[in-house]
């Protein structure tokens, strides 16, 4: 029971490997795609291809690390709330804070710092979802995958356990 925060903080680093966000909606995958034009200026519809939609779905689903470290792939530009790069920075900070939490959990004396860092981390996760919604990447909440939920629940457990240890 004493080491449960150590396990939970290590588990949070593993949860970041799970799918966090799908950038395309299922509705977009079911609609036919139009590519090219004929001479009479009509679109050429492609038939709905289930195999192709699975491939696109897999390519557009990101885990926590991919979201966080995509900051380094993008060219530097001005950050505003309507841009998904802000959400990437929130997620990068959350990942770095999770690494810090994992290191901090192995020192039993810093429960207060662990509690407040976990609270900040929960806020960063919520802000990243809000920034993705504001930027237009997140159109439906079905695009949020299980990783976000498990990560947030894990952080809440860490906060509760560290709060309980602070009282002792």
Q: Which spans in the chain are helix H?
A: 4-15, 26-30, 50-59, 64-69, 84-105, 111-135, 146-167
- The whole-number pLDDT of residue 153 equals 93
Q: What pLDDT digit, counting tens, does each position of 114-165 carry?
A: 889 999 999 999 998 888 888 777 777 777 788 888 999 999 999 998 888 7
More confident residue, 162 or 168: 162
Q: What pLDDT digit, counting tens, does each position of 2-12 carry?
A: 678 889 889 99
CA–CA separation, 34 vs 11, rounded Å?
A: 43
The answer on pLDDT for 28 being more than 60 is no
Domain assignments of the chain as residue spans, ordered by start: 4-23+62-167, 26-59
pTM of the prediction? 0.75
């Amino acid at each position: 029971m004493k080491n449960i925060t150590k396990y939970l903080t290590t588990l949070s680093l593993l949860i970041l490997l799970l799918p966090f966000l799908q950038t395309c909606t299922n509705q977009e995958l079911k609609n036919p795609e139009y590519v090219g034009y004929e001479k009479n200026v009509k679109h050429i519809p492609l038939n709905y291809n289930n195999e192709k939609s699975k491939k696109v779905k897999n390519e557009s689903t990101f885990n926590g690390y991919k979201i966080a470290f995509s900051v380094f792939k993008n060219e530097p530009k001005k950050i505003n709330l309507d841009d998904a790069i802000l959400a990437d920075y929130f997620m990068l900070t959350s990942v770095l804070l999770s690494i810090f939490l994992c290191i901090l959990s192995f020192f039993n004396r810093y429960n207060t710092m662990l509690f407040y860092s976990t609270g900040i981390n929960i806020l960063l996760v919520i802000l990243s979802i809000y920034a993705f919604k504001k930027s237009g990447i997140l159109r439906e909440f079905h695009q949020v995958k299980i990783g976000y939920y498990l990560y947030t629940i894990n952080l809440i457990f860490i906060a509760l356990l560290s709060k309980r240890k602070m009282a002792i």
